[in-house]
């Protein structure tokens, strides 16, 4: 008998640089495990992540097929002090460290503000050419009129405009070849990306960072803009359901179906920072009550499981990083009023 063919080394991977995303990462890991993914989740953490949290986080990871891996932050010298849409985006350069994980055959990066609702292991079978990645298009509708957005970020230029259910699930907008098509349709969203790490690819990326210093200074979304430029003409689009931005529920209703969401992306306002109001409103402009409620329902299921298992240390840690129940908030406000009168 010949030697057994080794199984491919595949994994999901995310990044933690600060404790404000701890609850998101823990629920992401829990949701992958709950939906029976065959692959582990790797959580890269940087020195900026508080070390006192690690022992308890290690314990939680042992319950969800999750592996903690230390890494170092990445900040190209040319971008130091540069202007960004949000200061937290400065950390996202470090997402590129996942391309250093050359001991793995295939990896799929997930932002830590995501929640998985259905098994999506089929992503690892997605066909990729050598040196390519798979991702989703950027939504450029800008229906909220954000001032930072480029002038061509309008609904008619969005890759998702015109897509309808069910064809949108299996036939997303094609990525134009380099130098062709709408520029807005060449932009990728780095919330999720599938890739095959190797040393040559990583070295090429580092050379790009060293060479294109003027270009880097203009990036508003550091890692995302970098990946768009580095892989220009070398990426494929996957269905919207694998990186379902919560805004698409009302920005692209002709495409969206609740039951088709594999992986929900909680962009901008994070659900764990504030409970859904009694009026059902949540998130920016109050439009995200439904999807934020989904996160809290999953959190309550996680809480119940950890309580049943007697994991009180984990419960205390995570509860300290999420918003208190509305009744508790009301009581605090009453007590504060009494003190001031």
What is the CB neighbour count within 10 angstroms for residue 212?
16
Average pLDDT over the chain reads 92
pLDDT on residue 228: 96
C-alpha–C-alpha distance, residues 192 and 108, integer Å: 7
pLDDT on residue 207: 94
What CA–CA distances, in Å, run from 305 to 39, 71, 228?
21, 30, 40
The answer on pLDDT for 3 being more than 80 is no
List of domains in the chain = 10-339 (3.90.550.10)
The pTM for the full model equals: 0.93
The answer on pLDDT for 1 being more than 50 is no
| 16-43 pLDDT per residue, tens | 999 999 999 999 999 999 999 999 999 9
| 142-177 pLDDT per residue, tens | 999 999 899 999 999 999 999 999 999 999 999 998
For every residue of 208-265, DSSP letters joined together read HHHH-HHHHHT-SSHHHHHHHHHTTT-EEEPPGGGSEETTHHHHSTTT--GGG-SEEE
The answer on pLDDT for 4 being more than 80 is no
**CA 51 from chain center: how many Å?**
23
Beta strands across the sheet bearing 263-265? 114-116, 263-265, 244-245
């Amino acid at each position: 008998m010949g030697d057994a063919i080794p199984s491919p080394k595949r994994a999901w991977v995310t990044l933690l640089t600060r404790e404000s995303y701890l609850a998101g990462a823990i629920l992401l890991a829990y949701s992958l495990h709950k939906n029976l993914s065959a692959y582990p989740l790797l959580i890269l953490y940087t020195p900026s992540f508080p070390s006192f949290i690690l022992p308890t986080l290690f314990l939680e990871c042992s319950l969800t097929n999750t592996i903690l891996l230390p890494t170092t932050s990445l900040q190209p010298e040319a971008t130091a002090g540069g202007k960004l849409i949000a200061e937290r985006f400065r950390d996202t350069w470090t997402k590129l460290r996942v391309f250093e994980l050359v001991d793995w055959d295939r990896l799929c990066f997930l932002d830590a503000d995501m929640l998985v609702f259905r098994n999506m292991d089929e992503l690892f079978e997605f066909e990729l050419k050598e040196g390519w990645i798979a991702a989703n298009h950027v939504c450029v509708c800008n229906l909220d009129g954000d001032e930072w957005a480029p002038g061509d970020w309008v609904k008619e230029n969005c890759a998702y405009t015109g897509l309808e259910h069910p064809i949108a699930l299996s036939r997303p907008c094609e990525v134009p070849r380099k130098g062709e098509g709408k520029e807005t349709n060449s932009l990728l969203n780095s919330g999720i990306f599938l890739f095959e790490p190797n040393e040559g690819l990583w070295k090429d990326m580092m050379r790009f960072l060293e060479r294109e210093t003027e270009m880097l200074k203009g990036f508003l979304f550091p890692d995302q803009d970098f990946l768009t430029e580095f892989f220009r003409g070398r990426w494929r689009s996957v269905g919207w359901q694998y990186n379902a931005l919560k805004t698409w529920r009302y920005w692209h209703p002709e495409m969206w179906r609740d039951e088709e969401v594999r992986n929900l992306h909680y962009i901008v306002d994070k659900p764990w920072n504030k409970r859904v109001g009694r009026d059902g409103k949540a998130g920016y402009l109050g439009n995200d009550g439904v999807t934020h409620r989904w996160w809290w329902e999953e959190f309550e299921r996680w809480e119940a499981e950890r309580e049943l298992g007697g994991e009180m240390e984990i419960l205390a840690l995570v509860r300290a990083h999420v918003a208190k129940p509305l009744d508790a908030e009301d009581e605090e406000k009453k007590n504060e009023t009494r003190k001031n009168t």
